[in-house]
Amino acid sequence: MAAPAERMKAMRDRRRALGVRELRLLLPDARSPSVRQRVANEVALISRASESEALGWIEAVSEFDDLGASET
Reported as a pLDDT band with limits 50, 70 and 90, residue 25 is very high
Residue 36: CB atoms within 10 Å: 13
Write 21-26 long-range contacts (CB < 8 A, 24+). Answer: none
Least confident span in 18-22, 30-34, 36-40, 65-69: 65-69
Reported as a pLDDT band with limits 50, 70 and 90, residue 3 is very high
What separation, in Å, do the N-terminal and C-terminal C-alpha atoms of the chain show? 51
68 vs 43, residue with greater confidence: 43
10: CB partners within 8 A, 6+ apart = 2
- The model's pTM is 0.47
Q: Where are the domains of the chain?
A: 4-70
